[in-house]
Structure 1
Amino acid sequence: MNPFEEMRIFAQVMESGSFTAAADKLGLSKQFVSRKLMALEQRLGVRLLNRSTRRLDVTPLGQRYYEAALRLLNDVEQVEQGISGQTSEPRGTIRLSAPLSFAVAHLGSLLPLFLQRYPGVSVEVDLSDRSVDLLGEGYDLALRIGVLEDSTLIARRIATIERVYCASPAYLAEKGMPVRPEDLRNHDCLPYGHSRQVQWRFAGAGKPLTLEVTGRMRANNGDLLRDAAIAGMGITYLPTFILGNGLKDGRLVKVLEGFETEPLALSAVYPQHRQGSRPVQALVEFLREQMQ
């Protein structure tokens, strides 16, 4: 019986989502992985996973065991790296979650530079605009834009991100240029998000204003909204890294300048047990260095 081996196998099954995928990652047979997990459950006297022909579902006790196992495995990794003299050079794999549009705009050029600087590090990137569950889904690090929810995760600010209101010249020629936020009641807007009620916040000489905006199209992807604005579908409010080329070549025009709210924060968030991870900290510091 090797508890750490069982922990590693269980953690890999959780991260991979199936016995087959975990076995491929570990270089083991599916039968061996399944037997080890059954032995672990028998030793603990609890069920960690509910198995069906289509999927694996973690039980509440399994989730607790997984989170504790990740912390212990990370501690073991740090000790082994220290003993082997590897702490000066980060080594290992980072599972990274990042927003789609931001990653396309920035990470495509930055990650190759990072990997060249640290040849002992590998990165697995998942692009999604949803807020992933780092612990439950096995991520080491996530990049998030905007206000962070209170949680046990550790957050480090990487940079700030400006947003602007804009529309196409053709749309403004037809509908007119809004002068005040209240003018948007007579305009088609292209809001970000899935909620049926979307509010935009405005700054100005007086107190901040919150206004509900509507339009014929909404989406949870900034690139789609940018293209819709360029096509003359309405006014949108997006980060400049998404709008950049459209603003530069005149396909988009800024509106309501001076009413923009404070820039958004780009943050790196990671579980507490990854605070001592050399690869994670190296990537966080690299992004701070490159994006300041």
Structure 2
Amino acid sequence: MDALAGIRVFCAVAELRSFAAAAKRLGLSPAMASKHVMQLERRLSTRLLNRTSRRVGLTEAGALYFEQTRQMLDSLDEVEAVVSKATVIPHGTLKLSAPVWFANPLFVGLLADYRTRYPQVKLEIDLSGRLVNLIDEGFDLALRVTPSLAEGLIARPLATMPMLLVAAPDYLARAGRPRSLADVNGHALLKYALYPARTMNVEGPDGEETIVFDEVLSSGNETLLHLAALAGMGMAVLPEWLIAEDLARKRLEPVQPEWIRIEAPLFAVYPSRKYLSAKVRTFIDFVAADPRLKQASLGAKPATTPPISPAKRIRKKNA
């Protein structure tokens, strides 16, 4: 069997987690797709896929092989287009992971504009809030707002996402509206689970101050924290993208905004590859240039220290 065809079948199965779905995409029978992968595994003398009656998953060797061969196929497609003097048009499905709170009109507008420009790209977006494994789960790209990222990935900084400490007027009326940074101590905190500390170091008018909260709720889901803040359960650090309308309608109030304003970097994160496919490259460039992100960054000044110190080890690439 054709070795290149076997690689294409394997990558389709690895991406879709299904022989039947991969066969349908490639115009093959499921039996023929299975034969291609088995022949590839025999040639490599290693198992690439774990098969059960319900799912197909990558082995450790399969994950490594998938990362490298998917890069090779993307590059081959683009080289063939160049050689044939055809325009390299982004196409295919872009599988993307992003934070829960990206389910908002600003981001949806950005996606709609991208699709208008590149209509041959289909979008598959995961907003579950979990930290996905890009390679094992077949993601092309992740947008992550975090002060630290794992090693072994390429991260391109896109913008700074300002965040504010906010609370509902009902909560502030009941628990007391802070008139100074010292007054914030002891207030109920709705804590984002990935920030382990319940303290915050703030550069105040008289130097650095440490604020200690009373943690009453912890969750890795920003939507839940947002709703809990609206319900008056306590204070929460939330992205301005998420709470802009609440601030405008006075459903939430910023707490000591002249001092407590956190800047969290937004990264485009993708597996380490020598070449990026056209769909990934154009999406990253499109997001980086979008004025909505620039507007979100305007006026955000580093007036406070995030709960976690930014990692120094992440590789950054201005691709």
Same fold per TM (> 0.5)?
yes
Do the aligned partners of residues 85 and 19 (structure 1) sit closer, same or farther apart at CA in structure 2, a change above 3 Å counting? same
Q: What corresponds to 1:209 in structure 2? A: 210
CA-CA distance at 1:161 after TM superposition = 0.8
* CA distance in structure 2 between the aligned counterparts of 1:59 and 1:147, rounded to whole angstroms: 31
How far apart in 2 are the matches of 1:202 and 1:108? 34
Q: CA deviation at 1:59?
A: 2.1
> Aligned ranges for residues 108-119 of structure 1 at < 5 Å?
108-119=108-119
Indicate the residue corresponding to 2:233 in structure 1.
Answer: 233
Matches within 5 A, 1:11-26: 11-26=11-26
- Give the letter for the 1:117 counterpart: R
Residue 150 of structure 1: CA displacement? 4.2
Q: Classify the secondary structure of the residue corresponding to 2:62.
A: helix
Higher helix share: 1
Structure 1: give runs of 5+ residues left out of the alignment: none
Taking the aligned partners of 1:90 and 1:52, their CA distance within structure 2 comes to 34
Cα drift, residue 255 of structure 1: 0.9
- Which residue of structure 2 lines up, in the alignment, with residue 269 of structure 1? 269
Please give the root-mean-square deviation of Cα atoms over the aligned residues, in Å.
Answer: 2.3
**Which piece of structure 1 moves more, 165-174 or 148-157?**
148-157
Deviations 1:61-81 (A, max 9, x none): 222221221122122122112
Residues 105 and 182 of structure 1: CA distance in aligned 2, closer, same or farther (over 3 Å) = farther
- With over 3 angstroms needed to count, the CA separation of the structure-2 counterparts of 1:203 and 1:145, relative to structure 1, is same
**Deviation, structure 1 residue 11:** 1.2
Q: How has the CA–CA distance of structure 1 residues 18 and 121 changed in structure 2, closer, same or farther, with 3 Å as cutoff?
A: closer
1:223 Cα deviation from its structure 2 partner:
2.1
Distance 1:28 1:221, change over 3 A: same
- Please give the alpha-carbon distance, in whole angstroms, between the structure 1 residues aligned to 2:33 and 2:42: 14
> CA offsets per residue over residues 115-169 of structure 1, 9 Å max, x none?
1112333322222322222222112221111224243322222221111111111
Give the Cα–Cα distance (whole angstroms) in 1 for the partners of residues 272 and 211 of structure 2: 35
Aligned equivalent of 1:243:
243
Question: What is aligned with 1:96?
Answer: 96
SS in 2 for 1:250: coil
Deviation at 1:190, TM superposition (A): 0.9
The amino acid of 1:209's aligned partner reads T
Answer whether contact 2:104 2:242 (CA < 8 A) is retained: no
Q: 1-side partners of 2:105 and 2:210: how far apart?
A: 31
| Cα 1:118/1:58, change in 2 over 3 Å | closer
| TM-score computed with the length of structure 1 as normaliser | 0.89
Instruction: Give the direction of change, closer, same or farther, for the CA distance of 1:164–1:69 in structure 2 (3 Å limit).
Output: same
Q: How does 1:17-56 map onto structure 2 within 5 Å?
A: 17-56=17-56
Deviation by residue 1:207-254 (Cα, 9 ceiling, x = unmatched):
363746410x32222222122111111111111111111111111111
Aligned counterpart, 1:130: 130
Q: Structure 2: how far apart are the matches of 1:106 and 1:247? A: 16
Q: Percent identity?
A: 37
Q: Report the CA distance between 1:43 and its aligned residue.
A: 1.9
Question: Is the 8 Å Cα contact of residues 186 and 213 (structure 2) preserved in structure 1?
Answer: no
**Cα shift readout 1:18-45 (whole Å, capped 9, x = no counterpart):** 2223223333222222222112112222
| Partner in structure 2 of residue 70 of structure 1 | 70
CA contact (8 A) 1:70 1:273 kept: no
Task: Give how far 1:55 is off.
Answer: 2.8
State the secondary structure of the residue aligned to 1:214: strand
Contiguous gaps of at least 5 residues in structure 2: 295-319
Q: State whether residues 202 and 260 of structure 1, in contact with CA within 8 Å, keep that contact through their aligned partners in structure 2.
A: no
Q: 1:261 to 1:246 in 2, by over 3 A?
A: closer
Provide closer, same or farther for how the CA distance between residues 201 and 86 of structure 1 changes in structure 2, counting only shifts above 3 A: farther
Corresponding position: 1:173 with 2:173: yes
Shift of 1:184: 4.7
Aligned pairs (5 A) from 1:115-194:
115-179=115-179, 183-193=183-193
Judging changes above 3 Å, is the alpha-carbon distance between structure 1 residues 258 and 95 closer, same or farther for their aligned structure 2 residues?
A: same
- C-alpha separation in 2, matches of 1:126 and 1:274: 25
SS at match of 1:242: helix
CA contact (8 A) 1:47 1:59 kept: yes
Call closer, same or farther: CA 1:286–1:223 in 2, change over 3 Å. same
Q: C-alpha offsets along residues 161-201 of structure 1, whole Å, 9 cap, x if unaligned?
A: 11111111111111112345554553221111267x54343
Q: What secondary structure sits across from 2:69 in the alignment?
A: helix
Counterpart AA for 2:129: D
Equivalent residue letter for 1:139: F
Mapped contact 1:167–1:232 kept (Cα < 8 A)? yes
1:220 alignment partner in structure 2: 220
Residue in 2 aligned with 1:259? 259
TM-score (normalised: structure 2): 0.82
Is the Cα contact below 8 Å between 1:4 and 1:73 reproduced in 2? no
C-alpha distance 44-150 of structure 1, shift in aligned 2 (>3 A)? same
The one-letter code sitting in structure 2 at the alignment partner of 1:189 is: L
